Chain A
Amino acid sequence: MQTDELISLMATSSQPVDTGWLRRITWLAAFLAMIGTTLAVLLTLGARRDLAAAWASAPVLGKVLLGASVAGIAVAVFQRSLRPGLSPRGHLSLILLPITAVMLWAVVVLARAPAGEWANLTFGRSWQACLISVVLYGLIPFAAMIAIARRGAPVDLRLTGAAAGVASAALATIAYSVHCPEDTIPFIASWYPLAMGLMAAVGALAFPRFVRW
């Protein structure tokens, strides 16, 4: 086939194109994945016993706020990374703002507590459970983002993967907050960001393999 034949074939058969679809579907999928992941946590682990009383407390809201702000930034970068020619690579580092904020808050909390309490405040009783859960439940939004990335045109698959990984862990952070019984800021500032980092690495490694187009 000659190139000019290909061009006339594409031109004559072309139809109007909606350039907003990718944005709408990405945000819709992120929202639905968050709801779905929360339901999965409720069905498999159950809510924390005191959820009715605790949901508006500072630590729970802190987890939700951390998750929501990181997810918002990462989903935006993810969506833009599906559009060739935009280079949103630098914008992913904006997630360091909310993460740094919660870490500073944790330092303040630790500074006010006696040194003997530090390990307790940081490790709690369930740091392994938190880490494993956020990563595992994060696979639900992660799968949704792989499906969307295949419908876009990601030219920097490591970036798209890292953003998808961070966004997934952040959405899972929101979901897991209905179960997680740990209410100390040093705990939140350690294990949730670590889970996000792990998922970012998983995404950066997985996407170049699974989302080639």
Chain B
Amino acid sequence: MSLADLETQLRPVFLSALAGDASAYRVFLEAISLRLRGYLRHQLARAGRTEPSETEDVLQETLLALHLSRHSYDPASPVTAWAHAIARYKLVDHLRRSGRHASNLPIDDEAYQLAAPDMPASDARLDLARALQSLPERTRTLIDRVKVQGCSVAEAASAAGMTETAAKVAIHRGLRAMARLLTKRRAL
């Protein structure tokens, strides 16, 4: 699918997602991760990194960043450009932290214009799982119920004795803490 087609398809979906439509948001995230996985794998390969788990790690970090930066999207601008700019930032950050100098990063700025092949998901390393382990018990339990047991947030919230909104806020904070941890982790 060309970038323009993807944009036409995804823009209204993402706008509904921003208005609070969870199923539209899922459609958006699934479509954009297919695209970004291809982009990231291609760019990482250019940098000599061919381990699929590394692609998946950067993809997860990017998705987390997209999620936490939704308020930075300008509704008048292309959503694919927004997503690619964040992916590129996270990729450069990842390469820099894992031992390359910023000046010779072989990032191809035009590469995302090309139709990226759909790639199957592969296993991530344990980065995100490790970040999850560092969360407070209560938040982790909440996330585990929703993520692994496939509960709705409402079910997980009542099991934890909180309101649905409080549970969403707690999960949001948990995701933010995980993102912060991923950013710090390779800083030294």
Closest to B33 in A: A3
Determine if A13 and B172 form an interchain contact, defined as CB atoms under 8 angstroms apart.
yes
CA distance A18 to B71 in the complex (A): 6
Contacts of A204 in B (CB 8 A): none
Contacts of A9 in B (CB 8 A): 143, 146-147, 171, 175
Determine if A85 and B78 form an interchain contact, defined as CB atoms under 8 angstroms apart.
yes
Determine if B121 and A2 form an interchain contact, defined as CB atoms under 8 angstroms apart.
yes
Range of interface residues on B (Cβ < 8 Å): 35 or more
B72 within 8 A of A: yes
Q: B46-79: which have CB < 8 Å to A?
A: 56, 59-60, 63-65, 67, 69-75, 77-78
Contacts of B18 in A (CB 8 A): 16-17, 19
Determine if A84 and B29 form an interchain contact, defined as CB atoms under 8 angstroms apart.
no
Minimum CB–CB distance for A207 against chain B, Å: 13
Known A82-B72, A155-B85; contact A5-B33, beta-carbon cutoff 8 A: no
Determine if A14 and B74 form an interchain contact, defined as CB atoms under 8 angstroms apart.
no
Determine if B123 and A85 form an interchain contact, defined as CB atoms under 8 angstroms apart.
no
Closest to A16 in B: B20
CA distance A153 to B72 in the complex (A): 6
Number of residues in A with C-beta < 8 Å to the partner? 32
Picked from B63, B78, B124, B146, the residue with its CB within 8 Å of the CB of A12 is B146
Contacts of B172 in A (CB 8 A): 13, 15
Determine if A6 and B64 form an interchain contact, defined as CB atoms under 8 angstroms apart.
yes
A10 within 8 A of B: yes
A40 within 8 A of B: no
B25 within 8 A of A: yes
Known A6-B64, A13-B168, A22-B71; contact A85-B82, beta-carbon cutoff 8 A: yes
A212 within 8 A of B: yes
Contacts of B88 in A (CB 8 A): 155
Q: Which secondary structure characterizes the binding site on chain A?
A: loop
Minimum CB–CB distance for B147 against chain A, Å: 5
B45 within 8 A of A: no
Determine if B183 and A13 form an interchain contact, defined as CB atoms under 8 angstroms apart.
no
Known A9-B146, A12-B152, A85-B77; contact A1-B128, beta-carbon cutoff 8 A: yes
Determine if A13 and B146 form an interchain contact, defined as CB atoms under 8 angstroms apart.
yes
Closest to B142 in A: A13
B30 within 8 A of A: yes
B residues with a Cβ closer than 8 A to A are 17-20, 22-23, 25-26, 29-30, 33, 56, 59-60, 63-65, 67, 69-75, 77-78, 81-86, 88-89, 93, 121, 123-124, 128-129, 132, 143, 146-148, 150, 152-153, 165, 167-168, 171-172, 175, 179, 183, 187
A3-B33, A10-B29 given; name 16 further pairs at CB < 8 Å: A1-B124, A3-B63, A3-B124, A4-B121, A6-B63, A11-B22, A11-B26, A12-B146, A13-B153, A83-B73, A84-B81, A85-B85, A86-B77, A153-B72, A153-B86, A155-B86
